[in-house]
Amino acid sequence: MDHSLKLVSFKLCPFVQRAVITLLHRKIPFEIEYIDLAQKPAWFLEISPLGKVPVLIVDDDKAIFESSVINELLSELSEPMLHPADPIERAINRAWIAYAAQLQGMLYRLESAPNEAAFLEYQQRLRKLLLRLEKALADGPFFNGEDPSLVDFTYAPIFMRLKYLHNHYPITIFDGSPQTAEWATSLINLPEVAQSVVSDYKDRYHHWLLEHNGFLQQMLSPS
Ligand SMILES: N[C@@H](CCC(=O)N[C@@H](CS)C(=O)NCC(=O)O)C(=O)O
């Protein structure tokens, strides 16, 4: 790797995690700098047009924002591409990467649901999103088959959080999507996924869930 890379991060951010997984998978050396999103530093606002992490600073002076764009760059900077070789298959992968935004958004609504009715509604909507995803999967263990790629790294943070929730409260999101459930397990078991979070991730995530002061605050078993 001929470039220096610094990832500007926030400790619980699932979008940052996508890039960290790719960097670890490819064994690309990088620096990481955590910022406080409640008090964004001026230098960060200067380089991040949307004020969001992740931002990848390349060679100290080029700031790349948007996790999917960062991942595409990381795929292109190292061989082979972390996408199918066939352009149509590659486009299909990119379309499902875009689809992950729906799941990520619905997961956030579930995590912060104010009451049981809202929680059940978002759970149902998440289940529907997964049923659709189920039909797009190959035979496993990963999205395209044997090898994990960018589409996998995009979904892994979502599945990690769903698994945590499932361990502390009985969610039924994977009902009807057994292959997606297996895919989720394969992803969670990848070392680069396990290592892509901070060491106290579980405690942090648990406290973050409790901070929403909603349905899960009453229902979650201890971390
Ligand atoms: N579409 C963006 C989303 C990034 C994002 O929403 N990051 C959150 C943290 S997880 C953030 O920086 N939020 C700060 C804010 O919105 O002010 C991406 O994929 O990079």
pLDDT tens string 153-207: 999 999 999 999 998 888 999 999 999 999 999 999 999 999 999 999 999 999 9
Residue 204 lies in a domain: yes
Instruction: Provide the 10 A C-beta neighbour count for residue 15.
Output: 21
Tokens representing 142 are 């990963």
User: What residues make up the domain containing 157?
Assistant: 87-219
Average pLDDT for the chain: 95
Average pLDDT over residues 74-90: 95
Q: Decide if 135 is catalytic.
A: no
Q: What number does the ligand 1 atom closest to the CA of 18 have?
A: 19
Say if residue 50 is in the same domain as residue 93: no
57 forms beta bridges with: 6, 63
Residue 82 lies in a domain: no
Say how many domains are in the chain.
2
Asked whether the predicted pLDDT for residue 223 surpasses 90, the reply is no
Which of 5, 8, 13, 97 does the annotation list as catalytic?
13
Q: In the prediction, which pLDDT does 220 show?
A: 79
Q: 195-222, pLDDT tens digit by residue? A: 999 999 999 999 999 998 789 888 776 6
- The rounded Å distance from CA 9 to ligand 1 centre is 10
Q: In the prediction, which pLDDT does 214 show?
A: 86
Average pLDDT over residues 130-149: 96
Q: In the prediction, which pLDDT does 212 show?
A: 86
Q: What is the CATH number of the domain that holds 72?
A: 3.40.30.10
Check if the beta carbon of residue 16 is closer than 8 Å to that of residue 64: no
- Closest residue by Cα to residue 89 from 156, 155, 138, 24: 138
- Closest residue by Cα to atom 10, ligand 1, is 13
Say if residue 69 is in the same domain as residue 22: yes
Say if residue 108 is in the same domain as residue 196: yes
Say if residue 108 is in the same domain as residue 206: yes
Residue 37 lies in a domain: yes
Say if residue 12 is in the same domain as residue 101: no
Say if residue 207 is in the same domain as residue 115: yes
Rounded to the nearest 10°, the torsion over CA 109, 194, 181, 103 is 30
Say if residue 191 is in the same domain as residue 141: yes
Say if residue 58 is in the same domain as residue 123: no
Average pLDDT over residues 21-42: 97
Measured on CA atoms in the order 72, 58, 24, 21, is the torsion positive or negative?
A: negative
pTM (2 decimals)?
0.97
Average pLDDT over residues 119-129: 97
Tokens representing 96 are 């499902």
Coil, strand, or helix at residue 192? helix
- The rounded Å distance from CA 30 to ligand 1 centre is 20
Instruction: Provide the 10 A C-beta neighbour count for residue 116.
Output: 12
